[in-house]
Amino acid sequence: MPDLYAEALIRFDELYARAMESGLRDADAMTVSTVGSDGRPAARVMLLKAHDARGFVFYTNFDSRKGAELFANPWAALCFFWHELYEQVRIEGRCQPVPDEEGDAYFATRPRMSQIGAWASEQSRPLASRALFEQRLAEVEARFAGRDVPRPPRWSGFRVVPERIEFWRGIENRLHERTVYWLEGGQWHSGLLFP
């Protein structure tokens, strides 16, 4: 019996590599959708930072809106759409925080000002003025002057562990091709969907 999850991941890897090599700006961009405690969905564009058989990883402030929503309801949906390739991938699954060592390793690769920004920003909270944010940035820069910036304790990654992966390939006249892989009863299945 074929390993359908491995097949789906290989298919994603090939498509993602094609998108990244195509020269598209932000080819690693994806829409991340969550659901609040009020049952209302929210979506935003983020960058995929890692993916492997364990899942798909993005980073954020855990106290941001998306972070709070994922701790309350750990289900998320990702959507990659590469218009120039006329391809889309949708991924749905349960989120879990990445281990601290993984978060630390990724944070260390970020540009220094992005690291400082992670400390200075109260992501998703109201901001009285841009000047206040710039003041906070200057304070954090002074605090970490001459030394490495550690990862803030409430800033790290979420890994979406897939339970459904759908590939959409655009075809003229809207006769698109859709293939879906899904986990049910501990086994992966696959099939086609009407366009």
Active site residues: 174
**Chain centroid, CA 115 distance in Å:** 18
Measured over the CA atoms of residue 53, residue 156, residue 61 and residue 28, the dihedral's sign is: negative
Do residues 35 and 75 make contact, with C-beta atoms less than 8 angstroms apart?
yes
Q: Judge whether 32 and 66 are in contact, CB under 8 Å.
A: yes
Among 51, 53, 43, CA closest to 20: 51
**What is d(CA 102, CA 100) in angstroms, rounded to the nearest whole number?**
5
Look-up: residue for tokens 């590939």? 167
Using an 8 Å Cβ cutoff, are 101 and 150 in contact? no
Q: Strand 187-193 vs strand 75-82: parallel, antiparallel, or unpaired? A: unpaired
Closest CA to 59 of 190, 157, 173: 157
Q: What is the enclosing helix (H) or strand (E) of 131?
A: helix 130-143
